[in-house]
Structure 1
């Protein structure tokens, strides 16, 4: 557990992102295998129909095997897209094997906007949530845009279950959370 919570948030992001990117390949693969097994055995995921997940970026847990697993289980998979109408918000677009992707302004791949493939946020059962750092209370530090904190403000009332995905090396002793920060019900780590 990293004892760096006294540092400014951006500095924490930089440190943890570097640690995450430099994770030895053997350790990374072993951790991801642990995470994949937890995902496969997770009751809420087994019962879910509509699942939102992110495409890995900058050393994050590789989500491609999770996506493949979800497709094999007959789940509908959705990727986040920065809303072109409300740029501080995310929308979710259906993701299939042949869905074309383009890089957004952060160099993160996302589907091309298609109004016919948008799912209302309230129809999602599970939202896999990216994070840079987290603490044992399941508060997270994201990339700084606040997209997921805005998205998840009412997740309990909407009956949506957000799950963080992280390597254990991303855990810090304390996230200095703000009033608007969302505490995740669960983070799957490996």
Structure 2
């Protein structure tokens, strides 16, 4: 398995065997829905020990990188459904005085997502998918093109910048302007993932927004 995890005392060997089954899947053999189910299952198989280790390693990959250090306005996410956890990066950004943002789903239209500034003491509530988010406040929201860096969750990725999301299209709709503004390079888009979420090559849909890179707990792609 490319980039496979080492087996540690607190991690069960059978979990690694399952992850090896999912490594470097050939997406041509599966529909998008099937690929999502398979990759979501792979990341859910990670133990709490492996999730904590992955979060620490992700932090080490990014915290001192120039892309993260130079960014002043950074959007992140709170993990759900086995996603790799970026909260160490969220807290690091806040300690350094950066403005941090979380995605907030609109009540209407329900297909729209905005980015709202978050502070360490803000209270969060579960949205319709059960993911914590701040109560909507337009005064704290920032246009997506005015962000410096977005750290995106994903279900699957390839080494060419392809990203497979959960299927709701929220990030793709929010970033659709990039297809119209060819010279617009903001924000930098970094997908965050576990190594077991990599596939050989993702089919690109017309609405897919390519990533600048994907960062896992092991390396940059």
Equivalent-residue separation in structure 1 for 2:143 and 2:208 (angstroms): 22
Kindly name which structure, 1 or 2, has the bigger radius of gyration based on alpha carbons: 2
CA displacement, residues 105-152 of structure 1 (integer Å, 9 cap, x when unaligned): 111111111122111222211011110111111211101011111122
Corresponding residue for 2:214?
187
Unaligned ranges ≥5, structure 2: 1-22
Equivalent-residue separation in structure 2 for 1:99 and 1:29 (angstroms): 24
Equivalent-residue separation in structure 2 for 1:178 and 1:124 (angstroms): 25
Query: Does structure 2 conserve the Cα–Cα contact (< 8 Å) formed by 1:4 and 1:12?
Result: no
Q: List aligned pairs for 1:53-68, cutoff 5 A.
A: 53-68=76-91
Corresponding residue for 2:204?
177
Task: State the shift of 1:25 in Å.
Answer: 3.8
Corresponding residue for 1:115?
138
The higher relative CO (CA closer than 8 Å, separation ≥ 6) is in 1
Q: Is residue 2:44 matched to residue 1:21?
A: yes
Equivalent-residue separation in structure 2 for 1:43 and 1:143 (angstroms): 29
Q: List aligned pairs for 1:132-143, cutoff 5 A.
A: 132-143=155-166
From 142, 149, 153, the counterpart of 1:130:
153
Query: Does structure 1 conserve the Cα–Cα contact (< 8 Å) formed by 2:51 and 2:85?
Result: no
CA root-mean-square deviation: 1.6
Query: Does structure 1 conserve the Cα–Cα contact (< 8 Å) formed by 2:148 and 2:188?
Result: yes
Aligned length: 190
Unaligned ranges ≥5, structure 1: none
Corresponding residue for 1:3?
25
From 85, 90, 113, the counterpart of 1:90:
113
